[in-house]
């Protein structure tokens, strides 16, 4: 098989594997809700404001976060988070033996399952059947009754003593048990705004504090609520009636009482209450899985752009670029909506860092595509960015347990102008590094298929400049390079046999190496600038510019890999191959920094 045939076959197989792998992933939401849970309309309650973690948020997003502490990232029985929250509040007995407590750590799940399977005495009602065991091992949810079994308590006690192992996972189980308690759920609903004329820092009041003195609560607690007798007379029966109607599963009454309660709460202090549209948009944002399904649009763009690379069909290139622009517009809308809802630029947690970095990569790709529209590098930048954004959103969609999408405020120490500059520059350099790894992988695929050991003879950024407009790389696209190679690579010899020319695949090698060099050069400069800015911010916030924190060290290690690449590029003969391998190594170090350091190694920058 010729080089062109091998390269096309490999690219087609990559497209099919990605599509098949994506299609094989199941729906994230879980089962479908039924009965009262599916019939009742809780939109009036979902759009209420809750004061939590220093900010006002929609009840739907608040419930999503709190219920997630208990049930994990997937919905319980297909119910909305708002429904599950209120159901645990109003009918806690329904959740005593229900498998709602999420166990994050898989080895700990296995130990719990083994302990339950080896029990000597167990009632038929609480028997841990094989089907339940298999479901627990897969989904990670177990009932409070089973967690209270002596054998399981012994497993959890051992885990809590193991500081190097599952200690935090065992403590998370205890936290989940505390969160699902009705009194905790009730007090967490800080739905009552302060009365007009109260100081600006007056806290909102939880429903657990809305009681009259005769209920056993002293006058001090009531005075803290800043509520008058008239407001208490309205709120107390409204809550009691809602609970009664909920337990009776009276859908019409629940919806009517919900509308009345929402109207009452909004009327207590309209000046400080968020607008209904903002709360509705926040609810919609979380209901749509934080718009993480955008990865599917990016997947279509990747497939079309890859087809455009290996086949000289202008329609494929135009379709791929159009899909990329559409996906980027959706991406921009997701970032902008989260920015508006949170009231700050989204870069304070891992979910925001990953999705915002991917957006920076898309913006850079569009800039490169504009300046390189008359060169052979066109469309390849869009491809690398589409792959990066697709991977980012797939991780956010399928791994919400690790990329927590909930919105929270930044810590006071992070409110520094150097933080915004440093963080954005660093994550922008990281996505460029990932994009360079994509083009480097394509280069290695080209070489594995027998392609020529070619590379650009000038700097990567020079290939985008006017000076390179007359060069061969500026005049040939990747697809037309393959077409030209097909025409030039074979000639008929005296015996009528076909022979391959020495220049087969040279053009595509220079294109892919040129794209890698453009991305590597820019990421190298941005990473250096981000490290310097990070040192300035650390000096402002922590009183020292460098502290050998694990994330600082591995950010420096990533920079050193690219410093090695710069020198290697000058010295070695096979520059394209070494550049591609070092680009992959640098991406590996960067991903280690972002994944392992953030989640497994404790430090000032980590989530461990």
For residue 459, the model assigns a pLDDT of: 58
3-state helix, strand, coil in the chain (%, to 5): 70, 5, 30
Longest CA span, the chain: 109
Q: Which helix H or strand E contains 601, and what residues bound it? A: none
Q: By C-alpha distance, which of 55, 377, 354 is closest to 190?
A: 55
Are the CB atoms for 147 and 156 separated by under 8 Å?
A: yes
Q: How confident is the model at residue 498 (pLDDT cuts 50, 70, 90)?
A: very low
Q: Which residue has the higher pLDDT, 124 or 426?
A: 426
For residue 195, the model assigns a pLDDT of: 79
For residue 229, the model assigns a pLDDT of: 55
Q: Could you identify the residue written with the tokens 């996505």?
A: 431
Q: Which residue has the higher pLDDT, 487 or 178?
A: 178
Are the CB atoms for 438 and 383 separated by under 8 Å?
A: yes
Q: Could you identify the residue written with the tokens 């102008």?
A: 417
pLDDT tens for each residue of 516-567: 989 988 998 998 888 888 777 777 666 677 767 777 777 787 888 878 877 7
Mean per-residue pLDDT of the chain:
79
For residue 537, the model assigns a pLDDT of: 73
- Span between the terminal Cα atoms of the chain, in Å: 50
Are the CB atoms for 191 and 207 separated by under 8 Å?
A: yes
- Please provide residue 156's backbone torsions phi and psi, each rounded to the nearest 5 degrees: -70, -35
Looking at the predicted structure, is the pLDDT value of residue 431 above 90? yes
**CA-to-CA distance for 590 and 557, rounded, in angstroms?**
8
**CA-to-CA distance for 605 and 349, rounded, in angstroms?**
10
Is 228 buried (19+), middle (13-18) or exposed (0-12) by CB count in 10 A?
exposed
Q: Which residue has the higher pLDDT, 408 or 17?
A: 408
Give residue 121's region: left, alpha or beta (phi > 0; psi -120 to 50). Answer: beta
Are the CB atoms for 29 and 78 separated by under 8 Å?
A: yes
Q: Which residue has the higher pLDDT, 233 or 595?
A: 595
Looking at the predicted structure, is the pLDDT value of residue 503 above 50? no
Lowest mean pLDDT among 142-156, 276-290, 397-411: 397-411
Looking at the predicted structure, is the pLDDT value of residue 112 above 60? yes
pLDDT tens for each residue of 49-81: 999 877 889 999 999 989 999 999 888 988 999
Q: What is the mean pLDDT of residues 570-582?
A: 87
Q: Where are the domains of the chain?
A: 3-24+288-489+500-599, 31-277
Q: What is the mean pLDDT of residues 417-432?
A: 85
Q: Averaging pLDDT over each range in 132-136, 422-426, 505-509, which range is the top one?
A: 422-426
Lowest mean pLDDT among 243-257, 429-443, 447-461, 487-501: 487-501
Which tokens hold the place of 447? 């070489």
Residues in CB range of 489: below 8 A, 6 or more apart: 2, 3, 4, 500, 501, 503, 504, 505
Q: By C-alpha distance, which of 265, 519, 228, 246 is closest to 382?
A: 519
């Amino acid at each position: 098989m010729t080089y062109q045939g091998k390269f096309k076959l490999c690219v087609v197989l990559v497209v099919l594997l990605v599509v098949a792998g994506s299609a094989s992933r199941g729906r994230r939401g879980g089962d479908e809700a039924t009965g009262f849970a599916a019939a009742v309309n809780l939109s009036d309650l979902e759009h209420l404001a809750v004061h939590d973690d220093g900010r006002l948020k929609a009840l739907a997003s608040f419930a999503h976060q709190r219920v997630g502490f208990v049930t994990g990232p997937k919905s319980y029985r297909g119910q909305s988070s708002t429904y599950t929250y209120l159901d645990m509040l109003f009918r806690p007995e329904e959740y005593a033996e229900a498998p709602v407590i999420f166990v994050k750590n898989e080895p700990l799940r296995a130990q719990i399952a083994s302990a339950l399977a080896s029990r000597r005495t167990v009632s038929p009602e609480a028997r841990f059947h094989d089907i339940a065991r298999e479901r627990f091992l897969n989904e990670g949810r177990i009932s409070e009754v089973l967690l209270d079994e002596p054998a399981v308590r012994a497993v959890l006690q051992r885990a809590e003593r193991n500081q190097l192992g599952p200690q935090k996972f065992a403590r998370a189980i205890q936290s989940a048990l505390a969160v699902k308690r009705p009194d905790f759920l009730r007090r967490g609903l800080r739905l009552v705004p302060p009365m007009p004329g109260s100081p600006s820092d007056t806290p909102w009041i939880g429903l657990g504090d809305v009681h009259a003195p005769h209920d056993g609560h002293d006058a001090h607690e009531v005075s803290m609520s800043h509520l008058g007798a008239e407001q208490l007379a309205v709120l107390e029966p409204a809550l009691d009636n809602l609970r009664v109607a909920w337990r009776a599963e009276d859908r019409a009454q629940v919806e009517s009482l919900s509308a009345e309660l929402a109207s009452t709460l909004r009327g207590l202090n309209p000046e400080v209450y968020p607008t209904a549209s903002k709360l509705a948009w926040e609810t919609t944002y979380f209901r749509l899985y934080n718009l993480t399904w955008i990865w599917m649009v990016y997947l279509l763009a990747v497939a079309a752009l890859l087809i455009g690379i290996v086949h000289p069909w202008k329609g494929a290139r135009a379709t791929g670029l159009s899909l990329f622009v559409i996906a980027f517009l959706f991406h921009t809308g997701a970032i902008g909506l989260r920015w508006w809802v949170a009231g700050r630029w989204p870069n304070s947690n891992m979910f925001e860092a990953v999705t915002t970095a991917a957006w920076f990569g898309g913006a850079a790709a569009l800039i490169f595509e504009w300046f390189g529209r008359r060169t052979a590098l066109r469309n390849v930048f869009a491809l690398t960015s589409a792959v990066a954004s697709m991977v980012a959103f797939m991780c956010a969609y399928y791994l919400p347990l690790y990329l927590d999408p909930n919105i929270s405020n930044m810590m006071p120490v992070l409110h520094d102008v150097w933080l915004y500059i440093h963080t954005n520059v660093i994550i922008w350099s990281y996505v460029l590094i990932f994009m360079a790894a994509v083009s480097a992988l394509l280069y290695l695929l080209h070489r594995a298929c027998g392609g020529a050991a070619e590379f650009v003879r000038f700097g990567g950024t020079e290939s985008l400049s006017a000076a390179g407009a007359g060069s061969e790389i500026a005049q040939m696209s990747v697809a037309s390079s393959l077409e030209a190679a097909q025409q030039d690579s074979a000639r008929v010899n005296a015996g009528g046999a076909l022979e391959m020319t020495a220049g087969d695949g040279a053009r595509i090698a220079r294109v892919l190496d040129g794209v890698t060099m453009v991305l590597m050069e820019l990421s190298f400069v941005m990473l250096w600038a981000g490290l310097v800015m990070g040192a300035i911010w650390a000096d402002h916030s922590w009183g020292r510019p460098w502290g050998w924190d694990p994330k600082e060290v591995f950010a420096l290690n990533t920079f050193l890999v690219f410093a090695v690449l710069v020198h290697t590029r000058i010295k070695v003969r096979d520059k394209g191959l070494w550049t591609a391998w070092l680009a992959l190594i640098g991406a590996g170090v960067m991903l280690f920094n972002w994944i392992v350091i953030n989640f497994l190694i404790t430090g000032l920058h980590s989530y461990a």
